Chain A
Amino acid sequence: MQHKEIVDNTSQFLQQYVGERDIDPEEEIFSSGLVNSLFAMQLVLFLEKEYNLKIDHADLDLQNFKSLNSIGDFVISKKQS
C-alpha cells in the first residue's frame, strides 16, 4: 500500500467534513481548527474500516493523526506491525 494512496484517500474522506477547501498533506488538521472534536472518532472509524485496523490506546499519539502525511505514516507502520 502506497503512502500517497492513503493520503489521497484520507484527504477525500476529510474533505466531506471541511467543505470546499483544499488540504495540504502537511497541514495540522486538529490544531489548526480545521475539524471539530467529533471528527477524531470519525477518523478512527474511517481508518479502522478502510484499512482493516484496530486502533487502540497505544496508538493515541497526536503524531499519528496530526496531518494527512502523519496518518499515511501511521497506517503503513500499523499494517507492518
Chain B
Amino acid sequence: MTIGFSEQHELSKQKFKFFVSEHIVPFANDWDNNETFPREAVAKIAKEGILGAIIPKQFGGQEMDPITFGILCEEFGKGSISLISLLTVHGMVSQSILKWGTDQQKEKFLPKLASGEILSAFALSEPNVGSDPKSVETVATQDSNGDFILNGRKKWISCGQIADLYLVVAQVDTKPTAFLLDRKTLGLDVKPITGLYGFRSAMLAELIFDNCKVKSSDMLGRVGFGFSHVANAALDHGRYCVGWGCVGLGQACLDASLSYTSKRKQFGAYLRKHQLIQKMIADMATNVRAARALCLQAGNLKQMGEPDLIMETSIAKYFASKMALNAANDAVQIHGANGCGSEYPVQRYLRDAKITEIIEGSSQIQQIIISQSAYHRFLFESRNARKEKG
C-alpha cells in the first residue's frame, strides 16, 4: 500500500497494470525498433477510455482525479515511456481546451478527443526555438475576414505523425497566441522525424505551415495569452504526466534488475549477493519511492487547486527524470553486455530516460525555476520574520 493511495487508487493501479502488461509490454521493443506506434494499439487504448482520462464525464471522458491519472502514467511508463507521449500531448491539448476553450470549442473537440476519434498534438517547439518558447518564429497574420494565416515550422512534435488536431502557438503581432489547427488544413505538411535516440515510438514530426488558414473561432484563448496561460497550463500537465511516467520507468529498471540479479551467477554467487550490486539496487529502490512521493505531493496539490502545484510539479518532474536516467544507467550496468543487447529492455529504458530530461522543460530550465522559487521563498520568509520582530 502506498501512502496517499486510496483503495480505489489501488484497484485502478491493478487495472492499468493488467492493460499495460497485456497490450504494451510484449510489443514495446518491436515498436521501438520500428519507430512506430500502430493504429491498432491506439485503438485499444482509446477503447479502454484512456484518451479521455482527464476529460469530464459530460464530454464522454473518464474524469480521473489527478492521482488516478498519475498512476495511469506510472503504469504506462513501466511498459514504454515513449508511448506516454500519447497521454502527455493528447492530455495537454485536452486540458488546454478544457481550461481556455469556448463552449463551442469544448463541444466540438472534447467528445472526439475523449473517444479517440481524433488524436491531438502540442506544437510549440521549432527548429530555432526550444527552451525560450515565447520567441516562437511561426507567425499568424489576420486577414480581412478576421481569420488567421499561419506560416512557419514546428519541430520535435510528439505524435505529430498521427495527430488529427494540433495546438499551435504562433505570434500575432509579436504576441504569442494559441490556435487549434485541423490536420487536413491546406498548406500543412507533416514530415516524420526518424532516427531518434529515444522515444522512438512517439511518432515525432516536423510541421510546415505554408499559408494555413485558421478560422478566428479556432483561436484558443485570446491574442497574447498563447504562452503565458495556454501553453503554460499545458506544459504543467505535460510535466505531471512525464514525472509519473519516470516513476514507472524507474520502477521498471528496478524490477528488471531485481529479476536479473536473482537469476545470474558470477564468481559462484548470484549477483544479488554482491554488495556493489546491492548499492545500486538500494539507490534505485529509494529514489523511485522518493520520486513517487514528489509526484503524489504534486497530485494532491492539483486535486486542491493550489497555486503551489506548478512549482511542485516542476520539482517532481525534475527529480523523477533525473532518477529515471540514473536508474536506467545502473540497470544497464547491472545487466552488463546483456543490457546493451536487444534481448533485454534496459537499453531502451536508458535511451528513453535521457529524453525525459529534455522534454516539457529541460532539467536546466527546471533548475532555474526551482532555484528562483527557493530564493524568493527565503527572502519572503526572512522579510516576514523581520516584520514579526518589529
Instruction: Please give the residue numbers on chain A whose beta carbons come within 8 Å of chain B beta carbons, in ascending order.
Output: 13, 15-20, 30, 36-38, 40-46, 48-49, 56-57, 60-62
Contacts and interface: CB of A to CB of B under 8 A. Distances in A.
Contact of B100 (A18, A30, A57): A57
A71 to B, nearest CB: 14
Interface string B210-223: 00000000001110
Interface in B231-274: 232-233, 236
A45 B220 CA distance: 19
B116 to A, nearest CB: 25
Given A16-B377, A44-B229, A38 B100 contact: no
B231 to A, nearest CB: 9
Given A37-B227, A37-B232, A45-B309, A20 B380 contact: yes
A70 to B, nearest CB: 15
Nearest to B383: A20
B310 A45 contact: yes
Nearest to B223: A60
B92 to A, nearest CB: 13
B376 A62 contact: no
Given A37-B134, A38-B369, A60 B229 contact: yes
14 contacts: A16-B377, A17-B376, A19-B376, A20-B382, A20-B383, A37-B134, A42-B310, A48-B305, A57-B101, A57-B220, A60-B100, A60-B225, A60-B229, A62-B224
Contacts of B228: 30, 37, 40-41
B276 interface: no
Given A16-B376, A19-B375, A43-B307, 10 more contacts: A17-B376, A20-B380, A37-B227, A40-B232, A49-B304, A56-B99, A57-B101, A57-B220, A60-B225, A62-B224
A45 B303 CA distance: 12
Nearest to B225: A60
Contacts of B383: 15, 19-20
B306 interface: yes
Contact of A41 (B224, B232, B379, B382): B232
Interface of B: 99-102, 134, 220-222, 224-225, 227-229, 232-233, 236, 304-307, 309-311, 369, 372-373, 375-377, 379-380, 382-383
Contacts of A36: 369, 372
Contacts of A45: 305-307, 309-310
Contacts of A41: 228-229, 232-233, 236, 310
Given A38-B232, A42-B310, A61 B222 contact: yes
A40 B229 contact: yes
A72 to B, nearest CB: 18
Interface centre among B102, B221, B310, B382 (most CB of A within 10 A): B310
Contacts of A48: 305
B106 to A, nearest CB: 10
B177 to A, nearest CB: 11
B63 to A, nearest CB: 17
A18 B307 contact: no
A29 B111 CA distance: 38
Contact of B306 (A20, A49, A61): A49
A16 B229 CA distance: 20
A67 to B, nearest CB: 16
A65 to B, nearest CB: 9
A18 B233 CA distance: 21
Contacts of B224: 62
A62 B222 CA distance: 10
B70 to A, nearest CB: 18
Contact of A57 (B222, B227, B373, B375): B222
Nearest to A40: B228
Contacts of B305: 45, 48-49
A48 B101 CA distance: 17
Contacts of A57: 100-102, 220-222
A79 B155 CA distance: 42
Contacts of B229: 40-41, 44, 60
A20 to B, nearest CB: 4
Contacts of B227: 37
A15 B384 CA distance: 10
